Chain A
Amino acid sequence: MPPFQQGRGRHEASLANDIESRIPRGSDMCLAVPMQILEIKGDGMARVTAMGAEREAALDLTPQAAVGDYVLVHAGFAIEVVDEQYARETLDLIQTMADMVDDPLFNEAGEGVPA
């Protein structure tokens, strides 16, 4: 029997763990890391980067992705293009919510009545 050709799995998995340990959040099954596309190759694969690490991601599910875009990468595939405008709008919304605590009707004990 020919010797078994080891996959890149172990290396890739440890790289993924490495990235995830620097991006503070959970484990692997539904985790997707925002990574930026550096290059799109002919075979539908892209070179992507986050926190100084580089990886390959398949663009099967995000054919609209372009170089420079941030994509959510899960288990070797880009599953969505991160929407820049929505990222900003969400921050604005969060700020609005956070600012409500400065409203005099609120207090730290949470007994205030929202206006």
Chain B
Amino acid sequence: MAAPQDLSAELAKFKDPKLARDLVHAIRAFSPESGATLMEVCGTHTVSIARAGIRDLMPEGTRLASGPGCPVCVTCNRDIDTVIALARVPEVTIATFGDMTRVPGSTSSLLAEQAAGRSIEIVYSPLDALALAQANPTRQIVFVGVGFETTTPLVARAVKRAADMGLSNFSIFAAHKNMPGALEAIVADPQLKVDALILPGHVSTIIGAEPYRFLAQRYGIPGVITGFEPVDVLQGIAMIMRQLHEGRAEIEIAYARGVMPEGNPHAVAAIDEVFETCTANWRGLGDIPGSGYRLRDQFAQFDAVRRFQPTIEPTIEPRGCRCGDVLRGIMAPSDCPLFRKACTPENPIGPCMVSSEGSCAAYYRYY
């Protein structure tokens, strides 16, 4: 085995400016004269592209559109209201990733609920939520399960561990979603003209390349699974441009150090053990069959909604907010009338301005 320092040196090369410059030239050489719209469908890519200024390096006619890749952003108002309703159950402590606390629901947010005295804990890992449950036997810990395939197996493992421990004061709000279902909705929408997809890196670490093949085969859309360093992103775009140039539509992997073609079978098995797919409602995309995960019957006692049957307020969509159009790549954040005026990170109206992975927040910070 090579010395470990070797790999860290290799990893540093994925930030090398010289390599990045050369790749920009390759992208320019391959890009179609008629222009092309590439959609990135991972919030972490949205941030990488904005932070590294990659949009400005693209040749004329090339548009980089952001898709429905920010988990907090695609969570519909009804689901956010449900979490808020759970927070109002007296014995419940909500354990959540930080991004969720500031997202406005119909009339409140978790942060507002916390200010009103409800118990909200920000955790880094679902295992921290388990630890909270063990340390606080008189409290009911509800973990907010949002996120794509990257996060779903972790939450599945937390549920399985809770079941193995016989932990009766732990449950989850299950709102996990999977990426391929949303991508089909995007490419099948005649209103959207997406020529190619920059496919998510760490979602693909879990599911591999196979679940995307139909995009190339049935819809003729090339896709490249892409990493997150600036050189990774440029390499992904260069491989897409090359496919467009050669008239190919295939699913390729530009992030082979983190993605096996078959994915991580242990993680897929962890999801399958605890969850089954169901119809999910996405902000901006509506109901998509098979794109959500719910707990299997044998783990149904860990379903917080079933356990507490909270009263959920009627859903009100934020007035004038165009998050739905931003999430479908129809509208750039800066084209929304509320952007930088009524809607800012300090006073967000829609979720795309709240989450650090949201397109609106990325545009606000970097453009």
A interface residues (Cβ-Cβ under 8 A, vs B)? 1-2, 4-10, 12-13, 15-16, 24-32, 34, 36, 58, 60-63, 68, 70, 72, 74-77, 79-80, 82-84, 86-91, 93-95, 97-101, 106, 108-110, 112, 114
Chain B 72-113 interface residues, beta-carbon cutoff 8 Å to A: 72, 93, 95, 97-99
Chain B 6-46 interface residues, beta-carbon cutoff 8 Å to A: 6-8, 10-11, 13-15, 19, 22-23, 25-26, 28-31, 42-46
Write the nearest CB–CB distance from A57 to chain B, whole angstroms: 9
Report the Cα distance A95→B22, complex, angstroms: 9
Say yes or no: B29 contacts A74, CB within 8 Å.
no
**B151 touches A (CB below 8 Å):** yes
Say yes or no: A29 contacts B154, CB within 8 Å.
no
Q: A80-B264, A100-B26, A101-B25 are in contact. Are A7 and B123 (CB under 8 A)?
A: yes
**B136 touches A (CB below 8 Å):** yes
Say yes or no: A36 contacts B25, CB within 8 Å.
no
Chain B 174-228 interface residues, beta-carbon cutoff 8 Å to A: 200-203, 205-206, 228
Report the Cα distance A109→B270, complex, angstroms: 49
B interface residue count range (under 10 / 10 to 19 / 20 to 34 / 35 or more):
35 or more
Report the Cα distance A50→B238, complex, angstroms: 29
Report the Cα distance A106→B138, complex, angstroms: 69
Report the Cα distance A110→B1, complex, angstroms: 42
**B281 touches A (CB below 8 Å):** no
Q: Which of B19, B28, B95, B154 contacts A74 (CB 8 A)?
A: B154
Say yes or no: B19 contacts A25, CB within 8 Å.
no
**B128 touches A (CB below 8 Å):** yes
Say yes or no: B95 contacts A9, CB within 8 Å.
yes
- Could you say which residues of chain B place their CB within 8 Å of the CB of A36? 4, 8
Say yes or no: B29 contacts A100, CB within 8 Å.
yes
Say yes or no: B266 contacts A62, CB within 8 Å.
yes
Q: By CB atoms of chain A within 10 A, which of B4, B7, B72, B131 has the most?
A: B7
Report the Cα distance A77→B25, complex, angstroms: 38
Say yes or no: B355 contacts A90, CB within 8 Å.
no
Write the nearest CB–CB distance from A36 to chain B, whole angstroms: 6
Closest to A16 in B: B124
Q: A8-B131, A82-B258 are in contact. Are A101 and B44 (CB under 8 A)?
A: no
- Could you say which residues of chain A place their CB within 8 Å of the CB of B25? 98, 101, 106, 108, 110
Write the nearest CB–CB distance from B122 to chain A, whole angstroms: 5
- Could you say which residues of chain A place their CB within 8 Å of the CB of B205? 32, 72, 79-80
CB<8 Å pairs between A and B, sample of 24? A5-B136, A7-B121, A7-B123, A8-B128, A9-B122, A12-B123, A13-B98, A13-B123, A26-B47, A27-B47, A28-B97, A28-B98, A29-B148, A29-B151, A30-B42, A36-B4, A58-B127, A61-B153, A61-B154, A76-B126, A80-B260, A87-B11, A97-B22, A97-B239
Q: A5-B132, A12-B124 are in contact. Are A72 and B202 (CB under 8 A)?
A: yes
- Could you say which residues of chain A place their CB within 8 Å of the CB of B202? 30-32, 72, 74, 79
- Could you say which residues of chain A place their CB within 8 Å of the CB of B43? 26-27, 29-30
14 A-B pairs besides A26-B48, A77-B157 with CB distance below 8 A are A2-B138, A8-B128, A9-B121, A10-B122, A25-B48, A26-B44, A29-B43, A30-B148, A32-B205, A36-B4, A58-B127, A82-B258, A94-B231, A110-B31
Say yes or no: B121 contacts A24, CB within 8 Å.
no
Say yes or no: B138 contacts A1, CB within 8 Å.
yes
Say yes or no: B7 contacts A29, CB within 8 Å.
no
Q: Which of A12, A74, A114 contacts B245 (CB 8 A)?
A: A114
- Could you say which residues of chain B place their CB within 8 Å of the CB of A9? 95, 121-124, 128-129, 132
Report the Cα distance A77→B267, complex, angstroms: 11
Say yes or no: B257 contacts A98, CB within 8 Å.
no
Kindly list the 8 A-B residue pairs having the minimum CB-CB distance in the complex, ordered from nearest: A76-B125, A110-B28, A98-B22, A26-B47, A9-B123, A27-B356, A12-B124, A86-B256
- Could you say which residues of chain A place their CB within 8 Å of the CB of B26? 97-98, 100-101, 106
Write the nearest CB–CB distance from B151 to chain A, whole angstroms: 6
Chain B 112-152 interface residues, beta-carbon cutoff 8 Å to A: 119, 121-129, 131-132, 135-136, 138-139, 146-148, 150-151
